[in-house]
Each structure stands twice: as structure tokens, then as C-alpha cells.
Structure 1
């Protein structure tokens, strides 16, 4: 049975300041939690309506009603686990790196982390204005991929200034990506959902690329940033 102090502790972790303070984050759902349990992440505690025998010392069996009290989901799925936030790792400048300039939507970030995992991109570099990767909505959207992609938050302008590889920026008026020659090593910058790549970061872009529109009525303003990332990563890996 959950105590009032446990409920308060868990619900506080839904806020970034408490995640930072405690060095902990929440993951929900059987698939996501199992993926994280099989990784190198350190488990703090698991709360479940069913028993995880291997984690008997760090688990509490709770009712569905109790799970609803601590869950962020409209339809809680069996288990909620609390993990320790790992120590930051250095950025390995090998292969293709994806960089995000102030991407704010948790669903977009989570999907981009999953895409990096799918396409074998090991490093995701985020500006400090990008949504935090341990936000519970981001964790849900990654479906476990957070354990296989190194997400780093840094001064993106400085990072790009110091790199010696080509820096590609996604723009509406860039070179057609389907006819571009794309290297295996470089940095792909994706911009903010509403404003695109900022002026400061634009100065560090060495090649502008675009996904052309093929519709008869050229009315769509832009693609969702996660959708655009998927298309561009596919082209980089194809080409």
C-alpha cells in the first residue's frame, strides 16, 4: 500500500526541478519499464500491480486505484518505475550526429530519440532550450530508446563552432535532399517547431537542405519536426 509521503514523492517527480533535485525520473508502462530494467540504468523503485520477482527488494505491489493516483497516463498500464538519472557522457564525434535547436514538444523529442535509435545515430545534442529528455512524456515516446542514445544538453552554438565536420540545417528553401550528396559523418540540425533554426545557429550551418513538396497544391507550410527528421535520416543513411 502506498503511503501519503510516497504519493507526494512520486508526483513531485513529474516536475523538472524535483527530478533535478532528486536525480530521479519516472517511466511508465510494461514495455518501457522492461526496456529500462534491461539496460544499465539503475532502478530506484518499481510500483506495480503485478510482481517483478527479480526486483523484490525494490518493488511495491499496489492496486490499480493507487497506480492511477501516481500515474501521468489517462489509462495507467500495470507499472510505474523510478530510475536514477545517469551521469552525463562525453559526445563521441563519430558518424552522424543529430542536433536540436530549441525543440519544445516532449512528443517530438521522444520520437526523435526513437528515430536516432532506429537509424543507428548514437549522439543527440540538444540546445539548453530544448525540452528535458527525462520529462515523463518524452520517456513514454522513446519506448526505451532513451537507453541507447546519448542525449547531451549544451550551448549548441559553441558546440557547432568547435566542430570540424559539415553542419547541415533543415530549411524550407534548402537544396533538395533527394539530389544532395550526403556524407556518413556530419551534424544534422533540426529547428524549433514554430520558428525553425535560430539566427545564431544559422551562422554555423555549412549546407542548407530541404525536403521538397510534391503536392499539386503547395499549401502545407512545413512538416512536423519529427517527421522531417525521419525523412532526412533515411536519406543520410541511404546515401
Structure 2
């Protein structure tokens, strides 16, 4: 049976486009069949599942799945709460999950560390890259764009359900883990060409802000400076690589060396 969304429901859901209301209500919005399905399968608690009759006909969600409010409505109602130019036939409001840090796991694996990455598309893509290359933890500075920004959520294409993203003070984090057997990697113009380096299977890989790069105080904590060379050497090229593209190249080389 079709339901018309109440004014309060519309107000709540649209307010979640802003970080202060996401923080206040501890909720975030996801749109699209794959993204919504992946988050549900990852057991992220659903506050609202809002869908059309057509979506319901071709998708089955078990009644045992914890969904606090199931609302069947129409495309016009969904358009009122969607952030997309072409709204999907399903939107879900999820509860922001708590994040547990497994120190032993971090000490024995690679993690990404993002120093004030600002663009939502970049963060979303980096999360996808991490998922692709089996990196389970991403640590973000407090000034990095919010994980639950709708544009970040969409850009992850569901990878957000597989990667743990934690906001913390980076200097304190790095000092907590830094030791002779746990390298701190970062990319710099004066670094060693990454393809000439013997890379370890554990450590932090620091990626900097789109315009400023890695901040000075974090630079001072880096133990292994890497450089992604242009090709051929000396040719006039773009000023720099996009941070998500650079992250892809770096993660690929780390994993390549494991084969």
C-alpha cells in the first residue's frame, strides 16, 4: 500500500544532507539498489527503508532483517528526499555504526591515513580503492570531509560496508603505532621512486590534502618517502596527480610486490 511521507519524515531525511544533523541524529542516507543492499547485507541498522512498488517487486528483503520502518511510496515522494538528479527507486536511512579499532590487526596490516582530504568524490573513491586492494582501515584527520556526506556515500559504491573509516588526531595515532618495524609511508617529490622500493606488508600510507599535500607536522613523522614518477622522465605533464588516483597507484604497487 502506497504511503505519503509525512512532513516530519521529509524534514528529518532532507536535514541529513548536513553534517550537524547527521551527528545529532546519528543517521545517514544511502540511495540506489546496490548501495542500499550492500549496507543491509553488512548488517548496518536501517531506520527507514523507502521504496517504490516496482522496486519491491524485483527485490526481496527478509522480514527478519532489522528495519525499523518500511515505507512503500511512489517516485514523486522519493524525489522530495533524494539528492540525486535522477532519483533511485529506493532510499534508506541507516544508523551510523560504532567503529571498533583492533590494534593487533592494524599493527600487522596496511592502513591508509588521510590528512585533510576535502573532496567527497576523492574520499569515496579512496574507500573503493581500499576495498579493492584489501585495506580494511582508513584513518582520517578531523578536517577530512565527512564520511557520511551523501556524495561520499554514493562515490563509495557500497565499499563503505567493507572498510572501517575512523576520524582521529593523526599525530597522536601515528606516534602510537610508529616503531622501527612499522613504517610510515608518504608521497613526496623528493621521495624515492616507489618502483625501486622494497615495500612492507604493514604500516601507514599517508595521503595529503588536494592542494597542500601532507601537513608539515605529519611530514615530520614519515619514515619512508615515496615518489610516483612521471613518464617519460622530464616530459611536461600535469602539475600533480589527483589524490585518489595517486592512492590507487600506491596501493597497487604495495600489493603487486606481494605476488
TM-score over 0.5 for the alignment?
Answer: yes
Gaps (5+ residues) in structure 1? none
Query: RMSD value over aligned CA atoms?
Result: 1.4
Gaps (5+ residues) in structure 2? none
The farther-off stretch of 63-72 and 190-199 is 63-72
Residue 135, structure 1, aligned to residue 149, structure 2 = yes
CA–CA separation in structure 2 for the residues paired with 1:214 and 1:91 = 40
The farther-off stretch of 69-78 and 91-100 is 91-100
Aligned 1:214-225 pairs, distance under 5 A: 214-215=231-232, 217-225=235-243
Residue 76, structure 1, aligned to residue 90, structure 2 = no
Residue of structure 2 in register with 1:112 after alignment: 126
CA–CA separation in structure 2 for the residues paired with 1:66 and 1:175 = 55
Given that residues 172 and 222 in structure 1 are in contact (C-alpha distance below 8 angstroms), is that contact kept between their aligned partners in structure 2?
no
Residue of structure 2 in register with 1:26 after alignment: 29
TM-score by length of 1: 0.96
Residue of structure 1 in register with 2:100 after alignment: 89
- How many pairs were matched up? 239
Aligned with 1:175 (options 179, 192, 204): 192
TM-score by length of 2: 0.89
Residue of structure 2 in register with 1:213 after alignment: 230
CA–CA separation in structure 2 for the residues paired with 1:57 and 1:183 = 45
Residue of structure 1 in register with 2:42 after alignment: 39
CA–CA separation in structure 1 for the residues paired with 2:12 and 2:5 = 11
Given that residues 46 and 68 in structure 2 are in contact (C-alpha distance below 8 angstroms), is that contact kept between their aligned partners in structure 1?
no
Given that residues 51 and 90 in structure 2 are in contact (C-alpha distance below 8 angstroms), is that contact kept between their aligned partners in structure 1?
yes
Residue of structure 2 in register with 1:54 after alignment: 62
